[in-house]
Homo-oligomer: A and B are copies of this chain.
Amino acid sequence: MRTSAEYLARLKGMRKNVHIGGEVVERDDPRLVPGTKVISMTFDYVDDPRFKDLLTASSHLTGQTINRFCHIHQSPEDLMKKQELTRLLCQRSGGCIQRCMGVDALNALSVVTFLTDMAHGTEYHQRFLDYLRKYQQNDWVANCAQTDVKGDRSKRPHEQADPDLYLRVIERHQDGIVVRGAKAHNTMAPYADEIIVLPTRFMGEKDKDYAVAFAVPADTEGLHLVCRSTTSRPRKKLKAPANELGVADSFSIFDDVFVPWERVFMCGEYDQAGYLAGLFAAYHRHSYTGCKPATTDVMMGATALVAEYNGIGKAPHVRDKLAEMITVAELVYAAGIAAAVKSQKAPSGTQVPDFVFVNAGRYHAGVNIYHEFETLAEIAGGLPATLPYEEDFLDPAVGPLLHKYIMRNPAVSAEDQHRLFRLISDMIVSAAGGVAQVAGVHGGGSPIMEKIALVLQYDMDAKKRLVKELAGIG
């Protein structure tokens, strides 16, 4: 297993294809550092006794101890450990741990390459296992690039005015393929080792060229990562862990990228595209049953603490709101546990979580995210929106007055009260807060997608039959 130092060192050596604000930058650009610090946690905690059992696994390929973010789940327990691990790490990152999408993509590919071979007599699964072996040995970090830019949402891939609005194969050669298109919302792509590309939806025969899955190094030729970085306003003196962490998302343009066959895992088998898309979604939604409760843990902790600082820690309306936050966090978490309990083994041996529970859990998280921000805002009051800048607190003239007047609970120091409100301000009155809200709705699939998935996958006929019986309908 790698150390975070090794991970960071490798990033430094990569080809410069990251664009931020009109510049092409190195991967240790200050706007990327907050993101690499988050990923580093997934390496650094391996030796922490609290995390060791969760953060490592035994490779089903080699029997070696690997980072769980490289592991193919073999049992319900594996799924539960991934879920718990995700919650604990996300608590410490104050949000998204970012590395889950790689393992989710690998697990989905492990299942579908096997099924595709069964259906088409192809050899994707062995090819995938060879790739996986390297992935585990190198302890890679991968972004999963799934969401196409999609053009007109009312049209299918082949119907778009510009055929490139979904990523597609434009050339097939003896040694590989050439792809063109763009994938959006690719979290941590600028500091990943690898980009794993999956189809975004069901495909029909006419969408054949769009049914493509593969992996490329993140600095491969022809790939442009146009990034937006989300970080907090840096602190002068009031350093805080949350303030050091952040994320960068990429709008990833595949401007005619060559992919050798040994890295191609689907190419034209359109009948499998939808299941691969859905299966990645299922694994990723299962990851959300770990990360979203962690987000809520931070929100509820902040709500409880600010209520205490404001002197209303025991007020009934605060208790009610905390209970609602607990309920959201734990129902989403319960959905992940139930998805593991009711999981099934795929023909490839990979453990697949229950689709209904992962969708129900992700949906519930998605429709509550804005309300959680609202709750914290309600209890914190207006100060997160109007808090003077840190520099004014350091100013010899007005600084002491600000410290005098920020006091609430006399048992807590002015600095600690200041620290808490600054954290909350960074959380809910910031671009980072906006990203968390939008990601809370759309990341891993929007609520409307989960509703559609739920109705498609649920045995509603059984429920209709039940009602017919009760009604005496023959």
Q: A residues bordering B, Cβ < 8 Å?
A: 19-23, 80, 91-92, 94, 147, 149-155, 161-162, 164-165, 181-182, 184-185, 224, 226-228, 238-243, 249-251, 253, 255, 297-298, 300-302, 304-305, 308, 310-312, 315-317, 319-320, 322-324, 326-327, 330-331, 333-335, 337-339, 341-342, 356-357, 360-361, 363-364, 369-371, 373-374, 377-378, 381-389, 391-392, 394-395, 397-398, 401-402, 404-410, 416, 419-420, 422-423, 428-431, 433-435, 437-439, 441-443, 446-448, 450-452, 454-455, 458, 460, 463-474
Chain B min CB distance to A28 (Å): 19
Query: Is there contact, CB below 8 Å, between B357 and A439?
Result: no
Residue of B nearest to A369 (CB): B374
Query: Is there contact, CB below 8 Å, between B301 and A408?
Result: no
Query: Is there contact, CB below 8 Å, between B240 and A467?
Result: no
Contacts of A472 in B (CB 8 A): 238-243, 419
Contacts of A337 in B (CB 8 A): 334, 337-338, 341-342
Knowing that A301-B466, A323-B363, A382-B443 touch, tell me 14 more A-B residue pairs with CB under 8 angstroms.
A153-B312, A182-B401, A255-B401, A297-B463, A304-B463, A317-B448, A323-B455, A330-B356, A330-B360, A334-B360, A374-B437, A381-B446, A385-B442, A428-B434
Chain B min CB distance to A307 (Å): 9
Residue of B nearest to A423 (CB): B471
Residue of B nearest to A332 (CB): B331
Query: Is there contact, CB below 8 Å, between B401 and A435?
Result: no
Contacts of A429 in B (CB 8 A): 431, 434-435, 437-438
Chain B min CB distance to A223 (Å): 11
Chain B min CB distance to A343 (Å): 12
Chain B min CB distance to A151 (Å): 6
16 contacts between A and B (CB under 8 A): A152-B408, A152-B409, A153-B310, A154-B311, A155-B311, A164-B405, A165-B405, A305-B468, A322-B455, A324-B451, A326-B360, A334-B357, A370-B374, A377-B437, A381-B442, A431-B431
Contacts of A431 in B (CB 8 A): 429-431
- Copies in the assembly, this chain: 4
Query: Is there contact, CB below 8 Å, between B391 and A21?
Result: yes
Chain B min CB distance to A233 (Å): 9
A147 to B304, CA, bound (A): 23
Residue of B nearest to A308 (CB): B464
Query: Is there contact, CB below 8 Å, between A185 and B382?
Result: yes
Contacting residue for A405 out of B251, B374, B446, CB 8 A: B251
Residue of B nearest to A471 (CB): B423
Contacts of A227 in B (CB 8 A): 388
Query: Is there contact, CB below 8 Å, between A151 and B317?
Result: no
Contacts of A323 in B (CB 8 A): 363, 450-452, 454-455
Q: Contacts A311-B154, A472-B240 known; A226 to B398 CB distance under 8 Å?
A: yes
A36 to B264, CA, bound (A): 58
Q: Contacts A22-B392, A333-B338, A388-B227 known; A410 to B161 CB distance under 8 Å?
A: yes
Query: Is there contact, CB below 8 Å, between B419 and A428?
Result: no
Contacts of A298 in B (CB 8 A): 463, 466-467, 470
Query: Is there contact, CB below 8 Å, between B387 and A228?
Result: yes
Q: Contacts A317-B320, A391-B21, A405-B165 known; A364 to B331 CB distance under 8 Å?
A: yes
Query: Is there contact, CB below 8 Å, between B326 and A330?
Result: no
Contacting residue for A377 out of B226, B438, B464, CB 8 A: B438
A264 to B253, CA, bound (A): 65
Chain B min CB distance to A395 (Å): 5
Contacts of A422 in B (CB 8 A): 471
Contacts of A161 in B (CB 8 A): 407, 410
Contacts of A397 in B (CB 8 A): 19, 224
Contacts of A451 in B (CB 8 A): 319-320, 323-324
A368 to B401, CA, bound (A): 36
